[in-house]
Chains A and B, each alone.
Chain A
């Protein structure tokens, strides 16, 4: 994973709450067995609508998504994060995220920046007023700024640390393999095993 320290880019306002992962990428787009190429499924139902925000020419090339509360609720599909990243997003800003979505973002390298709802409202107003406004997201200092807005955002320390250093989780965990092996030796005998299969 590439390290993430700072990102500067234009943003799109998504004035909707409760954007669940079925909206971010409908199930029919989940059938690929590869890790990339999911941008075609991003917001698939809404992208047919010429009035949808991402279809507006002024929001071409955006890399920051400013969304309403409860973004990414619902299914655990990491494809939602991949679709956003494949489309070109690096940062999603919201006042509340679905838990699994936020976790998945951290793993895949998408920054899910948690802010107060009034910051979202101000960002929406600023971006809509001038879609060319650059948003600067500084992970080191946990701040974001755009026009005359400057606000802190929240992200848990551990995810921040991993993103800043571009660390791979499996690698970190395997450095504690001795702990895992020691734990395994203490597991009670009555715990079930899938093998050998019984019917």
Chain B
């Protein structure tokens, strides 16, 4: 029978199927971090259980860690306790861990791919909703709660009801200056934050195929923001080329066998999805959110909407509340919205290509007076790579702060937070009330928009900037 990508990967992991019960799924890779794991390890200890497969488990510290003075003990005591608890648990249960200062410390969803541990056709879980990121490789990857973390640690399996399937097809070519982030934000604005609920989504079509692996990760990362169980992209030559030289990529004959298998995972031509959504890449423009959920977004060229623009009474109330919280007036052009802080980082847009894109805009320019910009690489390895390319110098010369790796202001669990009423343009994935600090106001944007916004101090795209004086050599 013809099957979709997600069905093939699902079927390959069913340990036990019984009618009326969820499937028991085998988990190929379990990523662990400090916030959602302490109670799970405690549960194991209480029951006298071990980690069944430490060799399929890897831990890092990311949510709490400071991005300054990373060589000193963590100042916040509760954060320090949480990080130390993870280190103790990793040692006790034999789990590999990457701690502060290690190149493979960083946001958990950045390190799986950079180590080559995330591969096509796998099941990947983590006590973190943005695990969907790993779907970019053609893996089924989703976030789980702490009880499930304990379940996976103890059994290397999870009970899961089979989700429905959805295809999001993006035809055509993205316009210049429009990135994967703009694409996914405009998708979410169309389908709503609940639009993907109950589905594993496969992103496909010409525009998706044209994306780099990192851009694909940006798309899959945001799957959870419209409620999807997971997002996936079929593996192809781009995927194989990305994986080829990664530390944990298969070698020799294993590589040949793996690629052959990976190629078989694509959705069969005559397979059907439970739901299909089609988008035209040409219609996508630089996009920004104005509200307090990721579905409340509009093109940067638009004005702040009015609650009256919404027919559904719940949307209307939500818009009223969002405008009040965000301190915005309907009808204001978004380009006139002044921003205090620009945050470049997170598992959505904290990889090397994101840093390169932003640095390309900032080179030769300055961060506006009265605006601060934080650049937080997704991992130690991204940081080192950026430094070897001189990107850190570009950011510093522009007046931005160059920080250590971690989640940082994406969720404000460490000292990197917005003050009440402060407004950010952020390349992260959530603009929820208080997400980046109590009372903080978040506009989600792409790295290009983030960088241009830093220069003007108001929401902007690179095309809005004055061209740089280019020194044209004589005789040209």
Partner of A199, one of B24, B104, B128: B104
Closest B residue to A28 by CB, please name it. Answer: B413
Closest B residue to A177 by CB, please name it. Answer: B155
Residues of chain B from 1 to 59 with CB closer than 8 A to chain A in the complex: 15-16, 20-22, 24, 26, 28-29, 35-36, 38-39, 42-43, 47, 49, 52, 54-58
Smallest CB–CB gap between B6 and chain A, Å?
A: 15
Asked if A148 is at the interface (CB within 8 A of a chain B CB), the reply is: no
Partner of B96, one of A33, A79, A187, A195: A195
Indicate whether A107 sits within 8 Å of B432 (C-beta atoms), given known contacts A27-B411, A33-B38.
no
Contact A176 B24 (CB under 8 A): yes
Partner of B155, one of A22, A158, A170, A188: A170
Indicate whether A158 sits within 8 Å of B432 (C-beta atoms), given known contacts A192-B116, A193-B56, A199-B104.
no
Smallest CB–CB gap between B69 and chain A, Å?
A: 19
Docked complex Cα distance between A172 and B257 (Å): 35
Partner of A173, one of B55, B115, B151, B249: B151
Indicate whether A180 sits within 8 Å of B145 (C-beta atoms), given known contacts A28-B412, A31-B78, A99-B227.
no
Contact B81 A31 (CB under 8 A): yes
Q: Which of B15, B321, B413 has the most CB of A within 10 A?
A: B15
In the bound complex, residues from chain A placing their C-beta under 8 Å from that of B171 are: none
In the bound complex, residues from chain A placing their C-beta under 8 Å from that of B54 are: 194-195
Partner of B151, one of A27, A170, A198: A170
Indicate whether A194 sits within 8 Å of B257 (C-beta atoms), given known contacts A26-B434, A28-B413, A78-B147.
no
Bits for A163-176, please: 1 = Cβ < 8 Å to B, else 0.
00000011011101
Contact B314 A17 (CB under 8 A): yes
Partner of A180, one of B15, B146, B197: B15
In the bound complex, residues from chain B placing their C-beta under 8 Å from that of A195 are: 54-55, 96
Partner of A194, one of B20, B26, B117, B258: B117
Residues of chain B from 179 to 210 with CB closer than 8 A to chain A in the complex: 193-194, 197-198
In the bound complex, residues from chain A placing their C-beta under 8 Å from that of B438 are: 26, 45
Asked if A68 is at the interface (CB within 8 A of a chain B CB), the reply is: yes
In the bound complex, residues from chain A placing their C-beta under 8 Å from that of B42 are: 33, 35
Docked complex Cα distance between A28 and B150 (Å): 23
Smallest CB–CB gap between B308 and chain A, Å?
A: 18
Indicate whether A158 sits within 8 Å of B21 (C-beta atoms), given known contacts A180-B26, A190-B250.
yes
Closest A residue to B198 by CB, please name it. Answer: A99
Contact A190 B258 (CB under 8 A): yes
Asked if B148 is at the interface (CB within 8 A of a chain A CB), the reply is: yes
In the bound complex, residues from chain B placing their C-beta under 8 Å from that of A172 are: 159
Indicate whether A197 sits within 8 Å of B261 (C-beta atoms), given known contacts A20-B293, A170-B150, A179-B16.
no
In the bound complex, residues from chain B placing their C-beta under 8 Å from that of A187 are: 26, 28
Indicate whether A191 sits within 8 Å of B122 (C-beta atoms), given known contacts A23-B432, A103-B148.
yes
Smallest CB–CB gap between B258 and chain A, Å?
A: 4
Q: Which of B16, B42, B63 has the most CB of A within 10 A?
A: B16
Docked complex Cα distance between A74 and B321 (Å): 18
Residues of chain B from 393 to 432 with CB closer than 8 A to chain A in the complex: 411-413, 430, 432
In the bound complex, residues from chain B placing their C-beta under 8 Å from that of A26 are: 434, 438
Asked if B237 is at the interface (CB within 8 A of a chain A CB), the reply is: no
Closest A residue to B260 by CB, please name it. Answer: A190
Bits for B311-342, please: 1 = Cβ < 8 Å to A, else 0.
00010011001000000000000000000000
Indicate whether A107 sits within 8 Å of B148 (C-beta atoms), given known contacts A73-B194, A190-B258.
yes
Docked complex Cα distance between A98 and B150 (Å): 21
Docked complex Cα distance between A193 and B38 (Å): 23
Interface residues on A, range: 35 or more
Contact B318 A103 (CB under 8 A): no
Count how many pairs of residues, one from A and one from B, have CB atoms less than 8 Å apart in the complex. 206
In the bound complex, residues from chain A placing their C-beta under 8 Å from that of B21 are: 158
Closest A residue to B438 by CB, please name it. Answer: A45
Bits for A64-87, please: 1 = Cβ < 8 Å to B, else 0.
000011100111111101000000
Partner of B81, one of A33, A193, A197: A33
Contact A179 B15 (CB under 8 A): yes
Asked if B99 is at the interface (CB within 8 A of a chain A CB), the reply is: no
Residues of chain B from 122 to 180 with CB closer than 8 A to chain A in the complex: 122, 127-129, 143-148, 150-151, 154-157, 159, 161
Indicate whether A76 sits within 8 Å of B145 (C-beta atoms), given known contacts A174-B154, A194-B55, A197-B96.
yes
In the bound complex, residues from chain A placing their C-beta under 8 Å from that of B292 are: 18
Closest A residue to B292 by CB, please name it. Answer: A18
Asked if A118 is at the interface (CB within 8 A of a chain B CB), the reply is: no
Q: Which of A33, A96, A108 has the most CB of B within 10 A?
A: A33
Docked complex Cα distance between A199 and B111 (Å): 11
Contact A183 B35 (CB under 8 A): no
Contact B157 A180 (CB under 8 A): yes
Asked if B82 is at the interface (CB within 8 A of a chain A CB), the reply is: yes
Smallest CB–CB gap between B381 and chain A, Å?
A: 9
Q: Which of A27, A45, A68, A199 has the most CB of B within 10 A?
A: A27
In the bound complex, residues from chain B placing their C-beta under 8 Å from that of A192 are: 28-29, 116-117, 119, 122, 248-250
Docked complex Cα distance between A79 and B55 (Å): 28
Asked if B64 is at the interface (CB within 8 A of a chain A CB), the reply is: yes
In the bound complex, residues from chain A placing their C-beta under 8 Å from that of B261 are: 188, 190
Closest B residue to A108 by CB, please name it. Answer: B147
Contact A77 B145 (CB under 8 A): yes
The 5 A-B pairs with the shortest beta carbon distances in the complex, nearest first, are A107-B147, A104-B145, A78-B145, A33-B38, A31-B78
List 5 A-B pairs, Cβ < 8 Å. Answer: A17-B314, A100-B145, A157-B20, A180-B15, A192-B29
Q: Known pairs A78-B127, A104-B146. 8 more at Cβ < 8 A?
A: A22-B430, A27-B411, A33-B82, A78-B145, A100-B144, A104-B148, A158-B159, A192-B29
